[in-house]
Chain A
């Protein structure tokens, strides 16, 4: 069966520090991968998605970037965090051509 992992679960970072959040998927090959951000009490905003290694599409211009160095690994990064980067970050995967997505447990990021 497929599983998706995210770490860390919680992160407190100072403004201006770098960020690296990791997401890995097990039990499937060549998945579509997604990064979302969720503000408190709100819906999900799609940040990035990837249909293959090295292929990244950005949905919203911002302070963040994403990379997919391996088939089942998706990384969300920032060189310098802003206060507005605080939120709940969710990684998801889906089969190519299918619409249903499967979500990881999320990372709660607080930038102070």
Chain B
């Protein structure tokens, strides 16, 4: 069963706008990760945030984690057409354990 559920399922924005997507999960976690998947390709790791962290940045990406609400958000600032992809959150319940993926958010950035 899926641990994480992304919201929205699909998002369409103009180039230059910000894109925000959310992930909710059900059980306690060790860390949460975000991955990107371009159409028909493998997944690429974007960022990992641990349960004792609240916010993390990587380039134009900003991830927040609220363990009290069991939720995380991924913000892509100043989006580009190349950001068009599906974005997945994945949770790890215990250190070194397996990833459990959500259903993903499909993001379309229009030029």
Q: Does A87 interact with chain B (Cβ within 8 Å)? A: no
Contact status of A46 and B99, CB under 8 A, knowing A99-B30, A99-B33, A100-B33: yes
Chain B residues in contact with chain A, CB under 8 A? Answer: 2, 30-31, 33, 35, 40-45, 48, 88, 92, 95-104, 106
Cβ contacts A88-112/B at 8 Å (1 or 0 each):
1010100011111111111010000
Residues of A within 8 A of B (CB): 34, 36, 41-46, 49, 59, 88, 90, 92, 96-106, 108
What residues of chain A lie closer than 8 Å to B41, measured between beta carbons? 105-106
**Is B88's CB under 8 angstroms from A43's CB?**
yes
With A42-B104, A43-B104, A44-B88: A108-B97 Cβ-Cβ less than 8 Å: no
Q: Are A99 and B96 in contact (CB under 8 A)?
A: yes
Partner of B42, one of A42, A59, A105: A105
Report A-chain residues with C-beta under 8 Å of the C-beta of B40: 88, 106, 108
* Whole-angstrom CA separation of A105 from B40 in the bound complex: 8
